[in-house]
């Protein structure tokens, strides 16, 4: 009963009882019941591609409408005409926000060979300056990972990349701040067959590799089951438009990082999701189209 809640927690005036509900408990049990219940006509889920596939299969018998924002494995492509300092700032923001635990995180960083050395130096200096610590401290840049499995996965990806010939430029191991902390890390010369180039990272590890042509980097960036967001840094206007069309991603950010907001049709292609969140497009999965045909003849 909203009337018995403290003033600060009361429901918005006019919102009917039962419209907004919070259900807590074991996720698999709760979601499973929602999936199988025919009264639930649409579901929206944000999470991993693995769980998204499971939910979609459980919803198939009742033919529910689905909106899913799933995993990402974003490429960040830096061309030689870009301002190196600006590109390094963009890479820091795109990779290390929320300690790299973000579906929008730039995990695969491709740099055109003439700019590679300068970019890596600028990027490495910024990574080395990131502060690791408690998220309650206002000047902390990198906090803990969500659980031990996440730390182990990051360790595995780093070890695999080094085994395949990548070079460690910064970091590379657990941080002394605690068992769930990992050092902000930069790997260079990372081969495309390394785990970190094939799997979503979800941690503070950046992988950098070189490319030599636009056609080559587009093919490498698209060679993934994911398609949520891609980042492009170039001052060439024609190239900006070509890349926006050629990259198989639901969202492409050019010379910037922040792309979210209420008016934005947020969502991905391929295994990164179904439908969109936000904007008028975000309402489509929650509406049904009805066609009415009336014969008005006498």
Helix (H) or strand (E) holding 244: helix 237-246
Please identify which residue in the block is written with the tokens 């489509």. 284
Of 35, 59, 69, 112, catalytic: 69
Tell me the β-bridge partners of 111. 78, 210
Q: How far is the C-alpha of 90 from the C-alpha of 75, rounded, in Å?
A: 12
Collapsed DSSP state (helix, strand, coil) of residue 66:
strand
- Residue 35 is among the residues annotated as catalytic for this protein: no
Report which of 249, 241, 169 is spatially closest to residue 209, judged by C-alpha positions. 169
Cβ-Cβ contacts under 8 Å for 261 (sequence gap 6 or more): 278
Of 59, 103, 200, 277, catalytic: 103
Cα dist from 30 to 37, 51, 92, 113, whole Å: 11, 14, 38, 51
- Residue 293 is among the residues annotated as catalytic for this protein: no
Inter-residue contact 195 to 161 (CB < 8 Å): yes
Report which of 25, 34, 36, 98 is spatially closest to residue 61, judged by C-alpha positions. 36
Q: How many CB atoms lie within 10 A of CB 212?
A: 10
Active-site annotation, residues: 69, 103
């Amino acid at each position: 009963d909203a009337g018995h809640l403290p003033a600060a927690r009361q429901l918005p005036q006019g919102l009917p009882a039962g419209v907004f509900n919070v259900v807590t408990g074991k996720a698999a049990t709760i979601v499973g019941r929602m999936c199988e219940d025919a009264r639930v006509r649409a579901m929206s889920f944000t999470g991993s591609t693995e769980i998204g596939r499971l939910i979609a299969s459980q919803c198939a018998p009742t033919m529910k409408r689905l909106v899913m924002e799933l995993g990402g494995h974003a490429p960040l492509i830096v061309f030689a005409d870009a301002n190196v300092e600006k590109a390094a700032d963009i890479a820091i923001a795109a990779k290390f926000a929320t300690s790299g635990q973000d579906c929008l995180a730039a995990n695969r960083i491709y740099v055109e060979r003439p700019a590679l050395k300068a970019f890596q130096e600028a990027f490495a200096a910024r990574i080395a300056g990131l502060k690791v610590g408690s998220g309650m401290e206002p000047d902390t840049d990198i906090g803990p990972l969500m659980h031990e499995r996440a730390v182990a996965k990051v360790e595995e990806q780093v070890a695999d990349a080094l085994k395949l010939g990548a070079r460690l430029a910064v970091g590379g191991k657990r941080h002394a701040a605690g068992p769930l902390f990992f050092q902000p890390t930069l790997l260079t010369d990372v081969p495309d067959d390394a785990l970190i180039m094939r799997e979503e990272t979800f941690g503070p590890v950046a992988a950098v590799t070189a490319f030599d042509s636009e056609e080559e980097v587009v093919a490498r960036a698209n060679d993934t089951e994911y398609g949520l967001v891609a980042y492009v840094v170039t001052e060439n206007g024609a190239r900006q438009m070509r890349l926006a069309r050629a990259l198989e991603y639901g969202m492409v950010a050019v010379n910037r990082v922040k792309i979210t907001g209420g008016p934005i049709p947020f969502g991905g292609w391929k295994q990164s999701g179904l439908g969109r969140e936000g904007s008028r497009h975000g309402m489509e999965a929650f509406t049904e189209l009805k066609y009415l045909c009336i014969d008005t003849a006498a």
